[in-house]
Chains A and B, each alone.
Chain A
Amino acid sequence: MKKLFMLMFISASFMWAGGLKPVDNVLYQEECGSCHFAFQPGLLPSRSWEVMMGKLTDHFGVDASLDAPTMQTLLTYMQQNASEKATGYKRSYKMNRSIGRYETPLKISEVAYFRDKHRAIRPAMVNQKEVRSISNCVACHKDAAAGDFHDTFVPNYGVIDD
């Protein structure tokens, strides 16, 4: 009995607020969701967002420039919800933990935790018209906007276990 209590206590202390905090900012949703899925700020640390927002004229090869006040408003929201702040959320905690202190990744898809979770993905699963890029989270995770990445379905391949 004592053991059971201990176990319950331990598992309770590992309860998360949720998988990943969904985007709750209309401006962010519009501005950062116009070209692709609006990646939740909790997927990368502040220092990554700061660097990214400092060079929007060359954002992964495209021009995503914004006027300075809009950029600043967005950055403030991103800093407040970045992975190192949102540690009550499982994915933020794990992303953050797998990024070295001196690393500043600009791609979510290059972080070790992400790569490990996607090790079963073969190029052919990505290089098809329904997906086209590993950054296209919603192509395989239909509930990505809700911060839920557990439900996975790779178009034309189905459920792949990691």
Chain B
Amino acid sequence: MKRVLIILPLCLASLQAGAFSPQVQGYIQELKAEVKKTDPSFSDFSIERGKEVFTSVHVGKKGEKISCTSCHNANLRDKGENVHTAKMIEPLSPSANPARLTKLKDVQKWLRRNFNDVYNNDGTALQRGDVLYYINAN
């Protein structure tokens, strides 16, 4: 019994690492439901596809080539620099910067803005879910 009590918190701790905050997890569920509406065979978001969303180059809102990595560092654990203003941006990776992906309001605000800047649209539910998986895995 004592052993179980010791192991239990350990397991919980390891489950926690890499998990989304409850708020953001709820949003992930919403996004999944959204994707399933058009693709009933959809099972889960993909880190691999998320990497493509994050690193691919597009003609953005300003009519210039831009990608998520134009402002965020391609190495998500490092600082980035805003391509338009030269202002430093703290690392996007939740493991390097624990405040990341914790507040749903912020996550939604920045996905809306940043997808518009890079993709010239709000981003589909599939793109949003995939990219959140990718950011969370780094």
- Taking Cβ atoms with an 8 Å cutoff, the residues of A that contact B are 35-37, 57-58, 60-67, 129-133, 135-136, 139
Contact = CB atoms under 8 A, between A and B. Distances in A.
Contacts of B85: 35-36, 132-133, 135-136
Chain A residues touching B, majority SS: loop
B86 interface: yes
Interface in B54-112: 61-62, 82, 84-87, 109, 112
Contacts of B130: none
A35 B87 contact: yes
Given A63-B61, A63-B117, A130-B86, 7 more contacts: A57-B116, A61-B61, A62-B84, A63-B112, A65-B113, A133-B86, A136-B86
B117 A62 contact: yes
Contacts of A132: 85-86
A15 B117 CA distance: 45
A61 B62 contact: yes
A129 B86 contact: yes
Contacts of A133: 84-86
7 contacts: A35-B85, A35-B87, A58-B61, A63-B61, A65-B109, A132-B86, A136-B86
B71 to A, nearest CB: 9
Nearest to A30: B106
A40 B85 CA distance: 17
Contacts of A62: 61-62, 84, 113, 117
A57 B82 CA distance: 18
A132 B94 CA distance: 29
A63 B84 contact: no
Interface string B109-131: 10011101100000000000000
B82 A66 contact: no
A35 B112 contact: no
A71 to B, nearest CB: 12
Contacts of A64: 113
A132 B71 CA distance: 14
Contact of A36 (B62, B87, B112, B117): B87
Contacts of A57: 116
A37 B112 CA distance: 22
